[in-house]
Amino acid sequence: MLRLLATVALLAASALPAVAQVKIGVIASSTGPVSVVGVQQKNTAALLPKQIGALSVEYIYMDDSSDPTQSTKNVQKMLIEDKVDAIIGPSGSPNAVAVLPFIADAKTPMLAPVGSTAVILPMDDKKRWVFKTTQNDNLVMEAIVAHMKKNGVRTVAYIGTNDPLGESFGKAFKAALAPAGIKLVEDERFARTDTSVTGQTLKIGAASPDAVLIGTAGAATVLPESALVDQGYPGKIYQTHGAATPEFLKIGGKKVEGTFLAASPMLVMSEIGDDVPSQKIARAYIEAYRKLYNIEPGTFGANIYDAGLLLERAIPLAGRQAKPGTPEFRAALRDAIEGTKDLVGAQGVYNMTAQDHSGFDQRSIVMIVVKNGNWSLVK
């Protein structure tokens, strides 16, 4: 009997994970309005490296329900209780903005997979702890606006969701429009769960802009587009990378044929030549994700994957200078991430500087068109 107990105890003990040396907090919005983005990111967290160099890594995951206040609570818990060495997340731009003061006070690096540049620009004492692993919203918008301009678009309308996502897309879009000399003639809002957007799309139709940009993510991207198509809107329809999900094609069907969107080259892997450096990593990521979940990831999860790559390069460097779990390690980690040069990720190439904590350039964005129910590269 005693031996049995001892065996059980031994088994139980061996089943417990060994105490990890590096602790990373992961915050994603796997529920709530941003969950289209967050679920992929949360799923990707399982693909992050458990061992970096000689150091084992533990990931502590929390959902913030898309609520910035919950993000700040999560961040506080991770910083104070778990004493994490770095944080990956949160999914939403406002969420990342909300946690800034806490990150800065705790002097802990954060890798934010968010679009808004507001988390890293203008660079200051608070933001020096934040790195961004997603194409800047303005990069996406610049690519879209450039494509519009090239195709003779003079007037546009914007329709976005009345949530943080739609709002930050709208902001970035308007900022990109001014220098290009394109005029915004309508600016409409709808709710993610609306069952009809006819009022908004009729108004857009009445203003007859040359193009319309739809600013939201996931399934909600389809409704305004199909309403516009049903009303016989003749102009071009653009989407952001928020539409770069399989369900956009599935739900949209024939109605989204011909849609333009700016997104990561990951979406059109087969058409990209070897000249795009990120291709190999993207393939590896997609493969790993599919193996685990049986579906293909959108581009949002890749932001987390890239955050993992950045850490994979920076942690060994920081590990040489200090022990994980100390303020010195966190400072060294920050410095190491800031020093990242020519790191190829799934979405593009990272070159960080003290001023640019995003490190992406235009290579990370391509224009894509929906052709025959599939993504196709605009050449």
Chain center to CA of 249: 20
- Contacts with other proteins: how many residues (CB under 8 A)? 66
Q: Does 77 bind other proteins (CB under 8 A)?
A: yes
Please report how close the Cβ of residue 10 comes to other proteins at its closest, in angstroms.
23
Q: Does 347 bind other proteins (CB under 8 A)?
A: no
Of 25, 209, 218, 301, which lies in the binding site for other proteins, with binding defined by CB under 8 A? Answer: 218
Buried b (16+ CB within 10 A) or exposed e, 24-43: bbbbbbbbbbbbbbbbbbbb
Of 21, 41, 108, 116, which lies in the binding site for other proteins, with binding defined by CB under 8 A? Answer: 116
Per DSSP bridges, beta strands 155-161 and 183-190 are parallel
Please report how close the Cβ of residue 31 comes to other proteins at its closest, in angstroms.
4
**129 in Cβ contact with 103 (< 8 Å):** yes
**209 in Cβ contact with 155 (< 8 Å):** yes
Of 222, 276, 337, 352, which lies in the binding site for other proteins, with binding defined by CB under 8 A? Answer: 222
Please report how close the Cβ of residue 59 comes to other proteins at its closest, in angstroms.
12
Contact segment (CB under 8 A) with other proteins among 45-53, 158-166, 263-271, 326-334 equals: 158-166
Q: Does 293 bind other proteins (CB under 8 A)?
A: no
Peptide linkage before 17 cis (omega within 30 of 0): no
Residue 255, number of CB atoms within 10 A of its CB: 17
Residue whose pair of structure tokens reads 């956009």 in the numeric block: 248
Alpha helices (H) in the chain, listed in sequence order: 2-15, 35-45, 68-76, 93-106, 137-150, 164-180, 198-207, 222-230, 246-252, 279-293, 300-321, 327-338
Report the distance separating Cα 245 and Cα 239, nearest Å: 11
Contact segment (CB under 8 A) with other proteins among 167-175, 303-311, 332-340, 352-360 equals: 167-175
Please report how close the Cβ of residue 204 comes to other proteins at its closest, in angstroms.
10
Here the tokens at position 225 are 């587009």
Q: Does 111 bind other proteins (CB under 8 A)?
A: no
Applying CB under 8 A, the residues found at the interface with other proteins are 30-32, 35-36, 38-39, 42, 61-63, 65-70, 72-74, 76-77, 79-81, 93-94, 97-98, 100-101, 105, 116, 162-164, 166-168, 171, 188-200, 202-203, 206, 218-220, 222-223, 230-231, 245, 247, 251
